[in-house]
Chains A and B, each alone.
Chain A
Amino acid sequence: MKKIKLILYIFSFTLFFLNNLNAANSQQVDKISKNLRCLICQGQSVYDSQSDFALSMKILINKKINEGKNEKEIYDFLKNKYGEWIVYEPEISQNTILLWVIPLILFIFGGILIVRKVSIK
């Protein structure tokens, strides 16, 4: 009797543990898939799409998380496989440095222009 109880305990505990693991997984899958472009859709994220591509992508992300990969490793893996195009937030690199910097330069430039047109007195 005790043995059965113990087995039941262990069983339910593992189930509980696995369940929790899955829930945490699915949150992370959501987070990652929101930042991925569904390559066969028109301007939809993997998260929003129900296409076969998006569904298999979600399974793939889940698998990678189970393998113990972190977010960055997963993005890197996908970028290698599908190209930079798949992520919605381009990393700062030689190609994208201007993208991030131009608006900020324009902002500073605008500020200087205003200061020159305004008298502080």
Chain B
Amino acid sequence: MINQIGNFSLFIALFASIFLIFQSSNVIRNKSKNLDGKIFSALSVQSLMVLISFFSLIYAFIVSDFSNETVYNNSHTTKPLFYKISGSWGNHEGSLLLWLLVLNIFLFIFFISSKKLLNKYRILTVLFQELIIIGFLLFIIFTSNPFLHLFPIPKEGTGLNPILQDPALAIHPPILYLGYVGTSIIFSSALAALVYGMVNKIWAKHIKKWIVISWIFLTIGILLGSIWAYYELGWGGFWFWDPVENVSLMPWFCLTALFHTIIVLEKRNIYQSWTIILSIATFSLSMGGTFLVRSGILNSIHTFANDPSRGIFILCFLLVLVLLAISIFFIFQKKLLKNFTKTFLVSKETAIIVNNWFMMFFLSVVLIGTVYPIFLEVINGSKISIGPPFYQKLIVPFLIPFLLFMAVGPKIKWIKDNLSKINYNQFILFILSIAISYLLVKLYGISYLLILPLFGLGFFLFFLTIKDFFSKNSTLSQKISHFGFSLFILSILFNGTLAKEFSSNMKVGDERKFLNKIIKFENIKIIEKNNYKSLVANFKISDEKSSISLNPEVRIYNQPRTLTSEAAINSTIYSDNFLVFNVIKDDGYYNVRYQFKPLMMWIWFSIILISAGGILSYLKKNE
């Protein structure tokens, strides 16, 4: 019953979509007058229907209705309620339904919050957004319907992949999607603004809210995924340059560039075409990301779904949207103001363009690194892997000029400034930073060539952003975000260079010496839980001053039958002690991996600070 409701609601939403496309194009071709009321009701109906459909799916998951194929494939009666609910978007069909829901809700919010703007612009945005929505509706209904019926009804489901049964991962997809889908509004409204020649200060001020909100969700979404990877995958890292991670990073670079450029548009009314290009690119990357993840062509830990026909649908859909966007861009580009005069070399405008320059470079490295192997395989059949060394080699050297520009850029004034302002204080701070960095390198005996300038500039940025808190020339939100970023750079530098790790095969009672610590395998016991059995080990790690006890687990889930290692992590503000163990063979030995990771907490904290700056900026603009 509930299945039919969910399915039926999707069809009503599809009709609403067709109706909206028809009506809005009528308004645009001046065939009918203001249809605000009609469009509003159709939008409400559509959002409500998708909402009903989404909740029907959640309901089917909660009551374990195995007549629903999606529920059968991804749930199990012994699973805790929380993961039954999160399981509804932890699979291909459900996650697309969530995409659709967010698309609808965002459009609805856009429509009611933009009443002050030109009516035609709003309607055209609705039209573009509906084109995206109808694509997703067709995709869901015909290739990935979450409400397919199973008969005879199975007694039990096959369960959710245990590594997905985790609180951080339960909320990671919705948050990330809010970010991804937020960019669709930016895309639609940028095209609409372009058509009506209103890419100006007023539009910038209005769309900036959407940029900020998408950026916040995207940042937090990536953070959650990264935290999850850190403690759940048991490799002790937080970023693996895995294709699916890269896919979320690409729109982030683009959105961060847009976030900065929109400020120039708002203040100075220049860079219109660039803003539009970035808006189109950001959404294309979000969509392209969904395509890459969902098509299964990526070899990655994250690719749960494997269905080429779906991939082809999204690919065609994406191509149509991008081609549409590009042709609209070239047709209406002449409407853009031609008041561009060259900006001065030393000005905030140029500083922001330099930021964009680096963002685009980082984006291109990640984009090419991610898609190159796919193309190469298609072209001449050779298979290559691109992993962390590639990204590090291309990105790390460029961080040096990037950090320098980031340190001095935000202080430069609009229109025209001069460099003689680089004052005594800044110079002292620069020397101090290099000196600190030199001492650190000597003290820890780090041999990597670039580490001296990286640490030096990291500290320089850190000091300057602190100093900025006492000056008045920028907003508090910017200060917090940039300070957060300096903290982030320093934390990953410390973490990357000073992390130590140790791995050994041990049995109960064994002791190993590592650095100045003693790692002792105290005991191991078996615990029975509702949906898994767990081997809980107890390790004691002691040095002269203190000792800590760590309890890593190996879980054997019953449905589907899978082994997962749960790392034991002891976090302090200085460092993390990370310990994970694996069963090798039945002779009583376990593979134990211990990692000492300095300043791990600060990596998370700094990203929270970066997002906090965004949140502050959003709240302030809403006043």
Residues of A within 8 A of B (CB): 30, 35, 37, 42-45, 48, 50, 55, 83-90, 95-96, 98-100, 102-104, 106-107, 110-111, 114, 117-121
Contact of A118 among B343, B361, B503, B584 (CB under 8 A): B343
**Residues of chain A contacted by B353 (CB below 8 angstroms):** 114, 117-118
**Residues of chain A contacted by B582 (CB below 8 angstroms):** 50
In the complex, whether B303 has a CB less than 8 A from a CB of chain A is: yes
| Nearest neighbor of A87 in chain B, beta-carbon distance | B385
CA distance A35 to B582 in the complex (A): 21
| Nearest neighbor of B389 in chain A, beta-carbon distance | A89
Contact of B383 among A84, A88, A89, A117 (CB under 8 A): A84
**Residues of chain B contacted by A86 (CB below 8 angstroms):** 385
Within the complex, the shortest CB–CB distance from A29 to chain B, in Å, comes to 10
Q: Is A44 a contact partner of B390 (Cβ separation < 8 A)? A: no
Of the 9-residue stretches B11-19, B314-322, B364-372, B567-575, which lies at the interface with chain A? B364-372
**Residues of chain B contacted by A89 (CB below 8 angstroms):** 386-387, 389-390, 393
CA distance A88 to B357 in the complex (A): 27
**Residues of chain B contacted by A104 (CB below 8 angstroms):** 394
| Nearest neighbor of A82 in chain B, beta-carbon distance | B383
In the complex, whether B301 has a CB less than 8 A from a CB of chain A is: yes
Q: Is B342 a contact partner of A119 (Cβ separation < 8 A)? A: yes
Q: Please, what's the 1-or-0 string for B339-381, where 1 marks a CB less than 8 Å from any CB in chain A?
A: 0001111000010011001001100110011001000100010
Q: Is B301 a contact partner of A111 (Cβ separation < 8 A)? A: no
Q: How many residues of B contact A (CB 8 A)?
A: 42
| Nearest neighbor of B234 in chain A, beta-carbon distance | A48
Within the complex, the shortest CB–CB distance from A15 to chain B, in Å, comes to 17
Within the complex, the shortest CB–CB distance from B585 to chain A, in Å, comes to 10
Q: Is A43 a contact partner of B345 (Cβ separation < 8 A)? A: no
In the complex, whether B299 has a CB less than 8 A from a CB of chain A is: yes
| Nearest neighbor of A95 in chain B, beta-carbon distance | B382
Q: Is B369 a contact partner of A99 (Cβ separation < 8 A)? A: yes
Q: Is A95 a contact partner of B380 (Cβ separation < 8 A)? A: yes
Contact of B386 among A48, A50, A99 (CB under 8 A): A99
CA distance A110 to B344 in the complex (A): 17
Question: Interface centre among B303, B387, B388, by most A CB within 10 Å?
Answer: B387
Q: Is A102 a contact partner of B301 (Cβ separation < 8 A)? A: no
Q: Is B343 a contact partner of A102 (Cβ separation < 8 A)? A: no
Interchain residue pairs with CB less than 8 A apart (13):
A43-B240, A50-B582, A85-B383, A89-B386, A89-B387, A90-B386, A96-B384, A103-B365, A103-B368, A117-B342, A118-B343, A118-B344, A119-B344
**Residues of chain A contacted by B299 (CB below 8 angstroms):** 42-43
Q: Is A110 a contact partner of B360 (Cβ separation < 8 A)? A: yes
Known: A110-B357, A117-B342, A118-B342. A88 touches B386 (CB 8 A): yes
In the complex, whether B300 has a CB less than 8 A from a CB of chain A is: yes
Contact of A50 among B240, B364, B382, B591 (CB under 8 A): B591
Within the complex, the shortest CB–CB distance from A94 to chain B, in Å, comes to 10
Contact of A95 among B343, B376, B584 (CB under 8 A): B376
CA distance A73 to B382 in the complex (A): 21
Q: Is A102 a contact partner of B368 (Cβ separation < 8 A)? A: yes
CA distance A50 to B584 in the complex (A): 8
Contact of B390 among A55, A90, A117 (CB under 8 A): A90
Q: Please, what's the 1-or-0 string for B88-117, where 1 marks a CB less than 8 Å from any CB in chain A?
A: 000000000000000000000000000000
Contact of B343 among A45, A87, A99, A119 (CB under 8 A): A119
In the complex, whether B243 has a CB less than 8 A from a CB of chain A is: yes
In the complex, whether B618 has a CB less than 8 A from a CB of chain A is: no
| Nearest neighbor of A86 in chain B, beta-carbon distance | B385
In the complex, whether B235 has a CB less than 8 A from a CB of chain A is: yes
**Residues of chain B contacted by A121 (CB below 8 angstroms):** 344-345
In the complex, whether B242 has a CB less than 8 A from a CB of chain A is: yes
Question: Interface centre among A50, A55, A87, A111, by most B CB within 10 Å?
Answer: A50
**Residues of chain B contacted by A107 (CB below 8 angstroms):** 357, 361, 364, 398
| Nearest neighbor of B235 in chain A, beta-carbon distance | A48
| Nearest neighbor of A34 in chain B, beta-carbon distance | B388
**Residues of chain B contacted by A48 (CB below 8 angstroms):** 235
Question: Interface centre among B242, B357, B582, by most A CB within 10 Å?
Answer: B357
CA distance A83 to B354 in the complex (A): 40
CA distance A89 to B373 in the complex (A): 12
| Nearest neighbor of B360 in chain A, beta-carbon distance | A110
Q: Is B301 a contact partner of A88 (Cβ separation < 8 A)? A: no
**Residues of chain A contacted by B384 (CB below 8 angstroms):** 84-85, 90, 95-96
**Residues of chain B contacted by A44 (CB below 8 angstroms):** 235, 301
**Residues of chain B contacted by A98 (CB below 8 angstroms):** 372
Within the complex, the shortest CB–CB distance from A46 to chain B, in Å, comes to 11
Question: Interface centre among B364, B369, B503, by most A CB within 10 Å?
Answer: B364
CA distance A104 to B243 in the complex (A): 21
Known: A50-B591, A103-B361, A103-B394. A118 touches B386 (CB 8 A): no
**Residues of chain B contacted by A30 (CB below 8 angstroms):** 503
CA distance A35 to B390 in the complex (A): 11
Contact of B300 among A42, A85, A118 (CB under 8 A): A42
**Residues of chain A contacted by B388 (CB below 8 angstroms):** 88
**Residues of chain B contacted by A118 (CB below 8 angstroms):** 342-345, 350, 353
Known: A103-B361, A110-B357. A117 touches B385 (CB 8 A): no
**Residues of chain A contacted by B300 (CB below 8 angstroms):** 42-43
Q: Is B342 a contact partner of A37 (Cβ separation < 8 A)? A: no
Within the complex, the shortest CB–CB distance from B285 to chain A, in Å, comes to 15
**Residues of chain B contacted by A35 (CB below 8 angstroms):** 387, 389
CA distance A55 to B583 in the complex (A): 12
Q: Is B342 a contact partner of A99 (Cβ separation < 8 A)? A: no
| Nearest neighbor of B361 in chain A, beta-carbon distance | A107
Within the complex, the shortest CB–CB distance from B375 to chain A, in Å, comes to 9
CA distance A100 to B364 in the complex (A): 11
CA distance A106 to B393 in the complex (A): 16
**Residues of chain A contacted by B235 (CB below 8 angstroms):** 44, 48
**Residues of chain B contacted by A84 (CB below 8 angstroms):** 382-385
Within the complex, the shortest CB–CB distance from A108 to chain B, in Å, comes to 10
Q: Is A88 a contact partner of B342 (Cβ separation < 8 A)? A: no
Contact of A88 among B364, B372, B385, B503 (CB under 8 A): B385
Known: A50-B584, A84-B382, A110-B360. A119 touches B345 (CB 8 A): yes
CA distance A85 to B354 in the complex (A): 36
| Nearest neighbor of A99 in chain B, beta-carbon distance | B372
**Residues of chain A contacted by B385 (CB below 8 angstroms):** 37, 84-88, 90
Within the complex, the shortest CB–CB distance from B327 to chain A, in Å, comes to 23
Known: A88-B388, A89-B389, A102-B368. A110 touches B383 (CB 8 A): no
